[in-house]
Structure 1
Amino acid sequence: MPLHNRPSAEALGRSLPAGFVIGTATAAAQIEGATQVGRRTPSVWDAFSAEPGRVQDGSTTAVTADHFHRHVEDVRLMSELGADAYRFSLGWTRLQPNGRGPLDPEGVAFYDRLLDELHESGITPFVTISHWDLPVEYEQGWLDRDTAHRLGEFAALVGERFGDRVDSWITINEPATVTLNGYALGLHAPGHSLLFDALPTVHHQLLSHGLAVQALRAAGVRGQVGITNVHTPVVAASGSPEDAMMAALFDVVHNRVFADPVLLGHYPQVPDELAPMFGAFAEVPAEDLAVISQPLDFYGLNYYMPTRIAAGAGSAESPDGTSEAMTELPFRLEPFDEFPTTGFGWPISPEFFGTALAEVQERYGDVLPPVYITENGASFADEIDAETGIVEDDERIGYLAGHLEAAITATAPGGVAEGIDLRGLFVWSLMDNWEWATGFTQRFGLLRVDFETLERTPKASFNWLQSALRARDEV
């Protein structure tokens, strides 16, 4: 967002609706490190990052931002920021080595300390149970229906242990990214390139969500329960029928097969000519859909960018790496040349944030529970000024200001998505982290992390958000 159009931090802070939650978000595999501490066993991302050529810069999960040893400092910085909430994930194999049996006391002790520190600082915990770090022992991963039951069992254990101190639970994070990048295109762990044969992982992840909801509620957790899906508005690259059909196909495989079963209780209908691609959903048991579509306390929506789709295969290159499987798809991603881009090459287009919210409102209407934006943020090539020691990340400030303003405007009375009860927004990310297959090459944080010394430095965006939150609290 250009400087001359950007609201000041103070004006934006004063415009936040009463009770609107502003938080930061992270994931265990990206920040904790300490992979050899205690009885923790490898996750699929530990194994994936250890394979040569899988991660762009050759880095691994071994240390990342070392949050395991530095969480006291990180919570202090969150408190200085003025954040209302912190969304983090539980390291599955730190808590349940090998993905079997009871919780490990040393792993439990770490999360006990973190939860205590958050509560002492007045920061509300939002806990994600599964943020991509499956145990390596689950050899077929999400291709195996049994993995859904393993997550349900894990949810029961953590719900019983931490249920009195967690205000909000997120069952799984971005199943669309897991299916598309991890099983269809081979870009993420576990690295399969199955294209449409990856679709069984959709159902098994959603079933795991439903089983986790049941387990948490059976454990008597006090907190609200929801899921996080990533949504992208999809537009056709031209007015041709072929581009329109492929855009509709991408909307189904990225958005609707993940949201419709949760919110409507069924998989989306597709045109007859596309039906053969979706055979995995042809005979889904009704009892599975009943488990998947239990009422939720909130719906988590991650938003980063829109997507433009054209018919016909495209390049094997993507921001996450190279995937020959992409050249076998019937569609390709086209750029938004009219917008500036992030370090990942993603279009910066706050106006499409309102579109995403409006599409969700239109599709799900009265069955849509209250919504949290559980991730929104951008990577840029941040550098510390050698003379001042300041990270002047003006692009990130513009991104966050534009998107926060767009979300509030879209859901306000008279907005394009005024029917949505929007409860808050979590900035991705609290700190620079290990960004999956791109390693340390993409920086999303409000805090700069020196990955040599692990020193944290608040960026200008941290100070900007701090000013906005102080102005809000003075109203």
Structure 2
Amino acid sequence: MDFKRSDFPEDFLFGAATAAYQIEGSAHGAAGSCHWDSFARVPGNVIGAEDGRRACDHYLYWAADLDLLRAAGMDAYRFSTSWARVLPEGRGPVNTEALDFYDRLVDGMLERGLRPFHTIYHWEMPSALADLGGWTNPDVHNWFADFTQVITRRIGDRVHATATINEPWCVAYLSHFLGHHAPGLRDIRATARAMHHVLKAHGAAMEVLRAEGQENCGIVLNFEADEPAEDGPDHAAAAARQDAIMNRWFLEGITRGSYPEEALEGLEPHLPAGWQDDMAAISRPIDWLGVNYYTRGLMLAAPDTAWPAMEPVPGPLPRTQMGWEVYPKGLEDTLTRLSRDYIGALPVYVTENGMAWDDRVTGGAVHDPARISFISEHVRATRNAIDTGTNVRGFFYWSLLDNYEWAFGYEKRFGIVHVDYETMTRTPKTSYHEFAKALGQ
């Protein structure tokens, strides 16, 4: 790879990331069901109607998976905890088997010299709460605060950093407006409420974390480098609307206590009454910001369609197995924009960046030169942002393992470690070995 550890500040952290539902195997350990279990059972929602019941069996193989991180020379591991595992009904009785598992997992990281980066929620809403409307229910922030307290009181004394929620745009907009993720709605009223409630839940969780003495707390947002696909004011306005919905809504809610006008023009009529009164809690200070970045968005105006009256179009550059254009400059631009316009010197971590490819085991090995190039280019983009003054403190590759890729089932492989879903055999890919070499220099 075209970088080495010594290119970065001495305290810069390298790691890899995963999510509970995507790797653990929800059939283990008395976990409750979540809305992804039911979403996957509707024909057409998930490729092969696959779900996370087995996933990568990380619940059983966790020690070996942590050994892979240590052997690669990683400094940290970003993991998430399953709400439906810890509280099978979403509220009420706690599953002690789940807390014991996360105890073992965190202790295992520390034993291997890995700093635990904990994400409280990574998309698995308990089915019992989904029955009550999930993220559209006005009480969801209280439910989430209770979960935050339960899990923090068990493992919060040993984690290095805590993020409240992963990618609220996916939790709310992708899942309630576009319908691509659970619960699979296409309803603007539900979308507006989910987009507000997810941030209200973040604010409530931050209050709990502070009360529990947690000091290194933030949130993980996903960003897209949005640009007009063609010249002209209409296309520029379409790109600005996409930027407002995907990037600025959550960012400005947290950092400024307000929502962008370009998004409010479509969503405000559907927000809950008195939403403005929640903005002070939503914008409580955070200690760091997580940035997930994969691609850019090229937008055209679509004036004959309903709001937001825009249409994404493919970019001209090479694309990953997901169809996402490979655009490393977008990561550099996103990081520098955040520092310049929003957060100043607040610490930033690249909490996810990666690519899916149609990886195959050949002769006992997996050669993935496209991923090696992808990682190198995005790590260099991160270095460029540091050089221009952004306080980037770490880079986490997504993902450690091939895993359950949500609506794409087990078809898309993001890992630097290949997983045979029949035998659960882990095979480190060439990118894993090259990453390890770079971290050793």
Matched, 1:164 2:157: yes
Does 2:16 match 1:27?
A: no
Indicate how the Cα distance of structure 1 residues 454 and 253 shifts in structure 2: closer, same or farther if over 3 A, else same.
same
Distance 2:251 2:307 in 1: 26
Matches of 2:247 and 2:189, distance apart in 1: 15
Q: CA deviation at 1:195?
A: 4.0
- Residue 333 of structure 1: which of 307, 312, 316 is its match? 312
2:354 corresponds to 1:377: yes
- C-alpha spacing 1:348/1:327, structure 2 compared with 1 (3 Å): farther
Q: Secondary structure at the match of 1:306?
A: strand
How big is each residue's C-alpha offset from its partner over 1:87-119, in whole Å with a ceiling of 9 and x where there is no partner?
Answer: 111011111110112421111111111111111
Say whether residues 1:275 and 2:265 are aligned partners: yes
- Counterpart in the other structure of 1:401: 376
Query: Which residue of structure 1 lines up, in the alignment, with residue 440 of structure 2?
Result: 470
Query: Structure 2 length normalisation: TM-score?
Result: 0.95
Residue of 136, 155, 162 corresponding to 2:127: 136
The residue identity in structure 1 corresponding to 2:371 is R
- Residues 167-223 of structure 1 show CA distances to partners (whole Å, capped at 9, x for unaligned) of 1101000000122221001111001011465111111000100110111111123x5
Match of 1:109 among 78, 100, 113: 100
The residue identity in structure 2 corresponding to 1:370 is: P
Specify the code of the residue in structure 2 equivalent to 1:446: I
Aligned to 1:88: 79
| Counterpart in the other structure of 1:291 | 281
Q: Secondary structure of 2:169's partner?
A: helix
Separation in structure 2 between the aligned mates of residue 237 and residue 181 of structure 1, nearest angstrom: 21
Length, aligned pairs only: 439
Alignment of 1:357 with 2:304, yes or no, is no
For 1:23 and 1:102, the matched residues in 2 are separated by 34
Which residue matches 2:64?
Answer: 73
Whether 1:193 and 2:186 are equivalent positions in the alignment is yes
Q: Distance in 2 between matches of 1:313 and 1:27?
A: 38
Task: Please give the alpha-carbon distance, in whole angstroms, between the structure 1 residues aligned to 2:4 and 2:418.
Answer: 24
- Structure 1 segments unaligned to the other structure (5+ residues): 1-5, 315-325
Offset at 1:80?
0.5
Residues 270 and 54 of structure 1, relative CA distance in 2, 3 Å threshold:
closer
CA contact (8 A) 2:169 2:246 kept: yes
Aligned partner of residue 52 in structure 1, secondary structure: coil
1:160 CA drift (Å): 1.3
The CA distance in 2 between the partners of 1:454 and 1:56, in whole Å, is: 20
In the TM superposition, what are the counterparts of 1:220-259 in structure 2 within 5 Å? 220-221=213-214, 223-259=215-251
SS class of match (1:403)? helix
Which piece of structure 1 moves more, 49-58 or 142-151?
49-58
Matches within 5 A, 1:421-460: 421-460=391-430
Shift of 1:137: 1.1
Q: Displacement, 1:432?
A: 0.1
| Corresponding letter in the other structure for 1:360 | L
- Cα contact 2:136–2:190 (8 A) shared by 1: no
Q: Distance in 2 between matches of 1:329 and 1:263?
A: 24
Matched AA of 1:333: P
Amino-acid identity (%): 36
Over 3 Å counting, the alpha-carbon distance change for 1:242 and 1:313 in structure 2 is: closer
Quote the offset at 1:286 in angstroms. Answer: 4.5
Name the aligned partner's letter for residue 294 of structure 2.
Answer: Y
Q: Aligned-pair distance for 1:359?
A: 2.1
For the Cα contact (< 8 Å) 2:192–2:267, is it kept in 1? no
1:302-351 CA distance string (max 9 Å, x none): 1111100001189xxxxxxxxxxx998511111111x1110001011111
1:262 correspondence with 2:237: no
Cα distance, 1:40 vs structure 2: 1.6
Cα contact 1:57–1:441 (8 A) shared by 2: no
Task: Confirm whether residue 307 of structure 1 aligns to residue 300 of structure 2.
Answer: no
Instruction: Name the aligned partner's letter for residue 427 of structure 1.
Output: Y
Q: How many Å separate the matches in 1 of 2:89 and 2:22?
A: 20
- The alpha-carbon deviation at position 287 of structure 1 amounts to 4.1
Separation in structure 1 between the aligned mates of residue 285 and residue 10 of structure 2, nearest angstrom: 25
2:174 maps to which of 171, 181, 184 = 181
Structure 1 distance, partners of 2:292, 2:162, is 15
SS at match of 1:233: strand
- The answer as to 2:216 corresponding to 1:216 is no
**Do the aligned residues in 2 keep the contact of 1:313 with 1:332 (CA within 8 Å)?**
no
Q: Is the 8 A contact 2:359 2:366 kept in 1?
A: yes
- The one-letter amino acid of 1:361's match is S
1:102–1:157 contact (8 Å) kept in structure 2: no
SS in 2 for 1:125: strand
- Among 44, 62, 68, the alignment partner of 1:53 is 44
In structure 2, the partner of 1:323 is none
Is the 8 Å Cα contact of residues 301 and 371 (structure 1) preserved in structure 2?
Answer: yes
The unaligned stretches of length 5 or more in structure 2 are none
CA contact (8 A) 2:16 2:400 kept: yes
Worse overlay, 259-268 or 278-287? 278-287
The equivalent residue for 1:320 is: none
Determine helix, strand or coil for the equivalent of 1:342. Answer: coil
TM-score w.r.t. length of structure 1: 0.89
